[in-house]
Structure 1
Amino acid sequence: MSVPRRFLPHTSLLVSFEAAARLGSFTAAAVEISLTQSAVSRQIRALEDQLGVELFLREKQTVRLTAAGEVYARDIRDALHRISSSTLGLRANPAGGTLNLAILPTFGTRWLAPRLPRFLDGNQGITINLSTRLSAFDFDLETFDCAIHFGRGNWPGASHELLMGEEVIPACSPQFFAQHRFSVPADLRAVPLLHLTSRPDAWEKWLRLQDVGAEHVHGMLIDQFATAAQAAVSGMGVALLPRFLIQSELDRGELVPALDLPMVSAESYYLVWPSERAMLPPLIAFKSWLRQEASAFQAETGTGTMVGQQ
């Protein structure tokens, strides 16, 4: 749909406004963008005239944003950042395009990163930019083309595809196991349990699954799987961890199951993307490749739920 030109101020006006809004000064903005103070003042006045809205309150030798200016400045800053990022990506890789991908830290480093060279070899010309995110994301506020996240597939306004489920096990160091010799699930209530801040009720779910009282479960809070795994390796307690993400530690004997009683997580790993970017060529190629990798991994390990469109 064509946007009326009256709603598209010239970029130079927006750049001057964004700089002045961020710096709180027409003079400082002029220095940053290599214009005179009077030129910046004229451009901001022209923008206000075009919008029919006062963006700054001018008081003697100072200026400050109006309430409307505050809101507009935030939106314009995000828009200019998107334009800048897209331009940078295009200049860096004009042939294949760029994919901006948000990833979960441990999943990204332990599962995705070792496989990415295969994607890049088969899709020469595509550049992938990776950013880690633990908390919920908003595609309207951040310039991601897609994200790999863990949840139940309920991201309003976005499309998603199921990649895989997971199985978690209680794990500890061999020395910690030798010290405590766990034989039944209730034995774990007597030792330090390591909790992930992103899954604060995971231990309660596991204990209930084993018909063990889950009231007043306390312990150290840790924000990432890799740190929780290292804490368990160091003998600080028992951590409830996805088996496939700690397979290296299990293979090396640095971690052992405290009890061989796995639990299938209610949530799964998904690829999520803004619906309006569904036809982005790098995203189409990445989705196809990731679907194949996830299917092959599950066939090899017998892990989780089959991939598929949701």
Structure 2
Amino acid sequence: MKRSLRARQLDTLDTDRLVRLEMPDNLRRYSHGELPPMQTLVAFETAARHLSFTRASEELNLTQSAVSQQVKLLEQRLGLDLFIRKNNRLVLTAGGQALAKDVEMVLDHLCNSVHALVSGENRVSVALSLLPSFASTWFASRIGDFSRNNPNVDLIVVASVALAELGRGATDIAIRWGPGGTQGVYEERLFGEQFMLVGAASLPKELRETRDISDLSGLPFQHDTAQNDWRVLIEENGGVPEDFEHGHYFSDASTTLQAIIATGGIGVVRNVIARHLIDRGDLVVLPFKPRKGPFAYHFLCAQESFDDPAITGILDWFRHHARRP
């Protein structure tokens, strides 16, 4: 028989812990030795909720006579009737109604405690600092995979360009873009990047496939103001940078990507930031030579945190995805 969630959770409960939980006033008068057995309270509450020994037995996976016997033991222990049998149905007495309400509350409390204990076993919280553009693109597109591979880690993601104070209670891990060489922390290079010319998937086929970059000069050009490599890339592919100075300028790389899509335009972007939109088919890589970026993405944590299993587990996850950024 299918058992209720409460019944399954209570299977895991150490009844000795019952006395350490806050009790309603009318149960608190019992000492540990005087408290009715746990199984009698569970049987009573289930029968009271259904007003049926038969349905209670189905929920608890017991025989009907076993449920009835547990309720009888509880009545004998308390010295009062909890049910009245009237016309082949159960009716709670006044005392039964009061006790049922209190026992239901206590059992709900216990079930919630057991669930929190079991589901929270070995859980850790890790504060992860990411650059906003990286957080909203590369990392956000992989958060499902992260959760599947790190089921016991609760991330606190802080999207910020500010330098993170690692190992001082505020930040455990930081992913930063730059030349590397940060002093006083553990640092590991994850992956470099390339600048490439991309266009909206809505571009006409002849423009997506052209090998003459000047054919694209009339399209809306969206600029990421955080980098000026677009000028060099245009020039290296035979274009005139001044012909591509028109268009909008954005201080946020992820906004630049969305603008390219929305305007049906083009732009020079970092492959790491744009990869998820390329894979999804929203952007297309145009057939021009990319340019290697001067910087890379690095994993940073406090030296004393490097041996922490949660930290090394997250590093392994980043290493895995670094193979195809």
Instruction: Report the TM range for the smaller structure's normalisation.
Output: 0.5 to 0.7
The answer to whether the aligner puts 1:111 opposite 2:138 as a matched pair is: yes
Q: Write the distance in 1 (CA, Å) between the matches of 2:242 and 2:141.
A: 40
Q: 2:122 aligns with which of 80, 86, 95?
A: 95
Does the CA-based 8 Å contact 2:185-2:303 persist in structure 1? Answer: yes
Query: 1:150 is paired with a residue of what secondary structure?
Result: strand
Residue equivalent to 1:194: 222
1:137 aligns with 2:160: no
Residue 121 of structure 1 deviates from its aligned partner by: 4.2
TM-score by structure 1 length? 0.53
Could you say what secondary structure the match of 2:175 adopts?
strand
* Letter of the structure 1 residue corresponding to residue 229 of structure 2: A
Say which of 206, 226, 233 aligns to 2:261: 233
CA distance in structure 2 between the aligned counterparts of 1:253 and 1:286, rounded to whole angstroms: 29
Residue type at the aligned position of 2:297 = Y
What is the rounded CA distance, in whole Å, between the counterparts of 2:280 and 2:312 in structure 1?
37
CA distance in 2, matches of 1:156, 1:171: 36
Between the aligned partners of 2:294 and 2:267, the Cα distance in structure 1 is 18
For 1:64-213, list aligned pairs within 5 A.
Answer: 95-133=122-160, 135-139=161-165, 143-174=170-201, 176=203, 183-188=211-216, 191-199=219-227, 201-210=228-237, 212-213=239-240
The residue correspondences of 1:211-230 to structure 2 (distance < 5 A) are 212-214=239-241, 218=245, 219-230=247-258
- Where does 1:8-23 land on structure 2 (aligned, <5 Å)? none
User: Distance in 2 between the 1:233 and 1:255 partners?
Assistant: 7
C-alpha distance 288-254 of structure 1, shift in aligned 2 (>3 A): closer
CA contact (8 A) 2:207 2:216 kept: no
Cα drift, residue 126 of structure 1 = 2.6
1:231 Cα deviation (Å)?
Answer: 0.9
Q: Counterpart amino acid of 1:139?
A: E
SS of the aligned residue for 1:204 comes to: helix
- Say if 1:93 and 1:127, in contact at 8 Å, map to a contact too: no
Question: Percent identity of the aligned residues?
Answer: 22
Deviation at 1:100, TM superposition (A): 0.4
Check 1:285–1:236 CA distance in 2 against 1; reply closer, same or farther (3 A cut): same
Unaligned runs of 5+ in 2: 1-118
Cα deviation, residue 211, structure 1: 5.3
Answer yes or no: is the 8 Å Cα contact 2:136–2:254 preserved in 1. Answer: no
Worse-superposed segment, 148-157 or 210-219: 210-219
1:94-125 CA-partner distances (Å, limit 9, x unpaired): 83432100123343344334544444444443
Letter in 2 for 1:137: L
Change (3 A) 1:283 1:191: same
The answer on 1:260 being equivalent to 2:261 is no
Q: Quick one: structure 1 residues 129 and 260, their matched pair in 2 at CA, closer, same or farther if it must change by over 3 Å?
A: same
Structure 2: how far apart are the matches of 1:242 and 1:155? 23
- The CA deviation string for residues 231-264 of structure 1, in whole angstroms up to 9 with x for no partner, is 1112264211234543454456543334433222
Alpha-carbon distance change, 197 to 275 in structure 1, aligned in 2, over 3 angstroms: farther
Q: How large is the Cα RMSD of the aligned pairs?
A: 3.5
How far did 1:193 drift?
2.9
Name structure 1 gaps, 5 residues minimum.
1-91, 304-310
Tell me, what secondary structure is at the counterpart of 1:261?
coil
Distance 1:251 1:127, change over 3 A: closer
Decide whether the 8 Å contact of 2:127 with 2:170 is kept in 1.
yes
1:112/1:184 CA distance change after superposition, 3 Å? same
Measured at CA, do residues 189 and 286 of structure 1 come closer, stay the same or move farther in structure 2, by a change above 3 Å? same
Name the CA shift for 1:210/1:155 in 2 (closer, same or farther; >3 Å). Answer: farther
Deviations 1:203-225 (A, max 9, x none): 12313433555469634221333
* Contact 2:132 2:159 survives alignment (8 Å): yes
TM-score for both structures, normalised by structure 2: 0.51
**Contact 1:233/1:254 (<8 A) preserved:** yes
Please give the per-residue CA displacement for 1:154-183, whole angstroms capped at 9, x wherever unaligned.
Answer: 333332111122233212235555696854
Output the amino acid matched with 2:179. R
Q: How has the CA–CA distance of structure 1 residues 94 and 129 changed in structure 2, closer, same or farther, with 3 Å as cutoff?
A: farther
Q: Please give the secondary structure, in 2, of the residue aligned with 1:267.
A: strand
Contact 2:277 2:283 in 1 (8 A): yes
